[in-house]
Structure formats: C-alpha cells, structure tokens
C-alpha cells in the first residue's frame, strides 16, 4: 500500500494489547496513528486540533460508548470518517451506527486485510471527492488573484456592491474572468446560500431563448411535452448570471427589462405572471455603449444596470502575472498530482512580456498544456511554447533619467485627475507651488 503520507488514523480501544497491535499494523502500511483508551480522550485530542482523517473505535468503551462518540464526532467534525469495531453480540448496534453516519463496521475478530480494505475504500473515496472539488474549482475559476492597482480597484467595487440587490454589468475582454468575478460577488452577497445559475446568451438558439429564460407551460409549442421552470426560477433566491448579454435577441430585451423592474415573469404559454426573487448580473466582452448607439442593445435596458464593473485585460496588469501563475500551478499540481513549484526568471520574464490576447484563460491553457507534456519541478524558458519564448528576446527599454520618469508620472496623474491641479498635487504628495514649478520646468501647460 502506497501514498499514505499524512493519512492519520485515531484508534479508540480500551484493550491495550489490541490497540497496540492495530497501531503497529497500520504504521507498517504507512499510516500515521494515534491510540487512546476512551472516547473522552479521543474528543480531548480532537478539540486540540489533532489532524485525524479516520477514527476506528470499539463499540463498548468505559464511560461514553462508541455510538455516543460517533454522534459527537459527526456533529463537530463531519469530515472525519468513523469505523466501528464490534463483537457478534452487538452487531445490531453496529448496523445502527451506519445509519448514524459511520462509514463501516468490523466484527471482531477480524484480520488485517479487512481493516486495510476498509481504509482503502475511505481514502479512495476521499481522493475522488477531493479531485471533483479541485476540478470544479479549476472550471469555476476559484478566488480572485491579483495585486495591481487596477485589479484591486475592481475587487473593492465588487465587494461594495455585493451587499446590494442592484443589477450589475461586468465588462471585459474574453478570458478576463467575468464569471469568476460574478461568482465572487454572489459569494459575498446575502444570496450566497442560494443558487448561482450561469447562462451563455450566445449559446441559446434564438427561437428557444424566451422559454429557456422564463420557462414554458406544457403544450405552449411543438415539443413542449411538460412544464419547464426556466432559468429565472432555477435561480430563485440566488443569482442569475447572463454572460454575453449583448447577444440577447433585441425583441426579448424588453421582457428582460420588465422582469428586472417588476420582479415578475410570464412563462411562454401562460396567462399569469409569477413573482421571482433573483439578482441579475450580466456580462459582455463587447463595447455595450457602441451596441446601444448602433441599435443592437436597448438603451433603457443598458441604463437598468446601475453599476458597471470593467475588468482590465491582463496586458494592462503584468504585475499580476506571477501571482496568477503560482495560483494556477497550485491548482494544476493538485489535479495532476505533480510538484511544479518554481518558474525560472527567464520564463517568467517571457510570460510577463507576452500580451495575452486570451487573457487569464489563455494563461491557464498554456500552463495546463505544459502539464500534459510532463514537467520537472521547475518551468524553464525552453518549456514554453515557441511563440512565448520569443518574448524573452525582446530588448528592455533603455534606462531613463529620473527627470524623464518624474515628467511621465506627473503627466499620468494629471490625465487621471482631468488636469485638476489641486487633486494632482495631493496624489503626488507635493505642494501646489511645487507642482506649478515642475509643470513650467517640463513644459506641461
């Protein structure tokens, strides 16, 4: 048996000889073991944050018995699996323990192969569950990662509006993480216990859009053989995320507007409106204002999205790339059972200089591709695809004088403040007199 590092088993048995034997067997097969003679001692150890994955407990113990211990463990530490040991006379109690949450039971006397088989099942199940969670995390994007000023400003705004009920519009290029941000807002909101229902508006056939969104009654159209809830009611009590909303058919946009304003929908084929309790977050990779001007998107619907959050593309925040790389590597290491921990300086340089037209999604795809071809513990420049390696050869800009850098920084701050010199001086942390002098010195009038 292999791969038992950090697999911890606590044995609760008042028979010292049996307890010692079980510990010796499990240690020989690579498990880390702890042994106590009572349920009270076991609970005391667990309350001190002892890391335990499985408890093997006798049914009959002095003081608190095995069933009582099982109940306490499942209430306080539900992720710990419990295996009950019992004699023939108490098999009925062992069966009852399964109903109360025990993983399995062993009837004394049992041989070591039975015990090891049960533990194998437990850890195989845990491994599968962990892998599912990791894959879901990878697919859903996980936490927001970045340290650049532009990125952190978006995150702070997202936190501020998360507690409200106002409809939101998230704008950003493909691959910037619009759904990740939407899920973050949902988790931060009072609706976090409710469902998060994502829908890609560009993927729904035009003639099915209304029924997909609002549901339909049986017989409403050919093929409607039963009632359908629709996406709005599927998101009841939670958040409906409408990705690529600019692709929504123009004729359906007034119905969406009415649903947002009235909090009521009418399924296709129904004469009655149904109240809904849903928060709307929409997203687009298009310039929505241009779509409004061209008549492809209704102005009144656009204005109904009270707050707009714009995610900057990755090329505008290269300082976030090292953080993103290491975050993605952590996820991929868990999924592929690897230990890729380090990126050589030249490789990271190339990653930071490349413009990433596909943004974070492209970065994830590139790194996952490296795992597919097999990697050592370090990613070097030669591991990267050829089109990325070329960016390491780009020459860095020639060093500039402090005066040139100061002039550029003052100009950036002035543009950021709309040439408001009072605000600019405050941001630069200099006096207005000093600012006017430098403006004159650099010819910035």
Reported as a single tens digit per residue, the pLDDT across 354-408 is 999 889 989 998 998 888 777 778 899 999 988 888 887 655 445 556 677 678 7
Q: Which domains occur in the chain, in start order?
A: 8-137 (3.40.50.2300), 149-312 (3.40.50.300), 315-392 (1.10.8.60), 402-442 (1.10.10.60)
Average predicted confidence (pLDDT) for the chain: 85
Query: What average pLDDT score do residues 293-313 get?
Result: 93
Report the pLDDT value the prediction gives residue 314, as an integer from 0 to 100: 94
Residue with tokens 């710990």: 80
What is the structure's pLDDT at 6? 57
Is the pLDDT confidence value at 1 over 50?
no
Q: Where are the alpha helices (DSSP H) in 163-199?
A: 178-188
Judge whether residue 306 has pLDDT over 90. no
Q: What does each C-alpha distance from 115 to 103, 122, 146, 152 come to in angstroms?
A: 12, 11, 47, 51
How many whole angstroms separate alpha carbon 150 and alpha carbon 157?
11
Q: Residue range 37-60: average pLDDT?
A: 89
Q: Between residues 260 and 218, which one has the greater pLDDT?
A: 260
| pLDDT attached to residue 133 | 52
Q: What's residue 142's pLDDT?
A: 57
**Rounded Cα distance, 181 and 170, in Å:** 8
pLDDT above 80 (res 266): yes
CA distances from 201 to 34, 197, 204, 208, 209 (A): 55, 12, 6, 11, 8
More confident residue, 119 or 140: 119
The pLDDT-based confidence of 159 (bands split at 50, 70, 90) is very high
Give the span between the Cα atoms of 104 and 66, in whole angstroms: 13
What is the reported pLDDT for 87? 79
Q: What is the pLDDT of residue 139?
A: 46
Mean pLDDT calculated for residue range 271-286: 92
Question: Which residues lie below 8 Å from residue 60, measured CB to CB, with a gap of 6+?
Answer: 66, 86, 87, 90
The confidence band for 2, taking pLDDT boundaries of 50, 70 and 90, is very low
- Specify whether the CB–CB gap between 7 and 30 falls below 8 A: yes
Name which of 96, 91, 120, 121 is nearest 106 in CA terms: 91
Alpha-carbon distance of 150 to 317, in angstroms, equals: 7
Residue 129 has pLDDT above 80, yes or no: no
More confidently predicted of 143 and 136: 143
pLDDT for residue 207: 84
- The pLDDT score that the predictor gives to residue 102 is 87
- Decide if pLDDT at 137 tops 60: no
Mean pLDDT, rounded, for 232-250: 92
Q: Give dist(CA 199, CA 252) in Å, integer.
A: 15
User: 298 falls in which pLDDT band (50, 70, 90)?
Assistant: very high
Q: At CA 140, angle to CA 190 and CA 160, rounded to 5?
A: 35
Q: What element of type H or E holds 55?
A: strand 54-58
Q: What is the pLDDT of residue 214?
A: 92
Q: What percent of the chain has pLDDT over 70?
A: 90
Pairing of strands 32-36, 8-12: parallel
Question: Model confidence at 204, in pLDDT bands (50, 70, 90)?
Answer: confident
Please state the rounded mean pLDDT for residues 206-224.
84
> Mean per-residue pLDDT for 43-71?
89
Q: Sorting pLDDT into bands at 50, 70 and 90, what band is 21?
A: very high
């Amino acid at each position: 048996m292999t791969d038992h590092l950090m697999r911890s088993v606590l044995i609760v048995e008042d028979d010292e000889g049996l307890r010692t034997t079980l510990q010796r067997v499990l240690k020989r097969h690579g498990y880390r073991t702890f042994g106590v003679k009572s349920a009270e001692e076991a609970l005391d150890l667990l309350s001190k944050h002892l890391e335990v994955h499985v408890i093997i407990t006798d049914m009959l113990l002095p003081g608190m018995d095995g069933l009582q211990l099982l109940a306490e463990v499942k209430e306080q530490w539900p992720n710990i699996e419990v295996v009950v040991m019992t004699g023939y006379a108490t098999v009925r109690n062992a069966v009852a323990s399964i109903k109360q949450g025990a993983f399995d039971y062993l009837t004394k006397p049992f041989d070591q192969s039975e015990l090891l088989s049960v533990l194998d099942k437990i850890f195989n199940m845990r491994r599968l569950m962990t892998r599912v969670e990791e894959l879901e995390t990878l697919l859903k994007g996980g936490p927001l990662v970045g340290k650049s000023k532009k990125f952190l400003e978006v995150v702070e705004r997202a936190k501020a509006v998360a507690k409200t009920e106002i409809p939101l519009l998230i704008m950003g290029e493909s691959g910037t993480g619009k759904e990740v941000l939407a899920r973050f807002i949902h988790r931060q909101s009072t609706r976090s216990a409710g469902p998060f229902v994502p829908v890609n508006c560009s993927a729904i056939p035009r003639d099915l859009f209304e029924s997909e969104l609002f549901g339909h009654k049986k017989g409403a159209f050919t093929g409607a053989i039963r009632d359908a809830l629709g996406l709005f009611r599927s998101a009841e009590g939670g958040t409906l995320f409408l990705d690529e909303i600019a692709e929504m058919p123009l004729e359906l946009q007034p119905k969406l507007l009415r649903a947002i304003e009235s909090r009521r929908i009418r399924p296709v084929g129904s004469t009655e409106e149904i109240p809904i309790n849903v928060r709307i977050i929409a997203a687009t990779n298009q310039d929505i204002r241009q779509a409004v001007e061209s008549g492809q998107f209704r102005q009144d619907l656009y204005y109904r999205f009270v707050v707009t959050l714009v995610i900057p593309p990755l090329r505008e925040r290269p300082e976030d790339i090292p953080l993103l790389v290491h975050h993605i590597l952590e996820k991929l290491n868990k999924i592929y059972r690897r230990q890729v921990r380090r990126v050589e300086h030249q490789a990271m340089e190339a990653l930071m200089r490349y413009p990433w037209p596909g943004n974070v999604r492209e970065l994830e795809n590139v790194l996952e591709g490296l795992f597919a071809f097999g990697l050592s513990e370090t990613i070097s420049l030669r591991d990267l695809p050829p089109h990325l390696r070329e960016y390491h050869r780009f020459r860095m800009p020639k060093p500039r004088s402090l005066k040139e850098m100061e002039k550029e920084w003052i100009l950036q701050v002035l543009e950021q403040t709309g040439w408001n010199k009072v605000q600019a001086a405050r941001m630069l942390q200099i006096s207005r007199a000093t600012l006017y002098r430098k403006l004159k010195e650099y010819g910035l009038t």
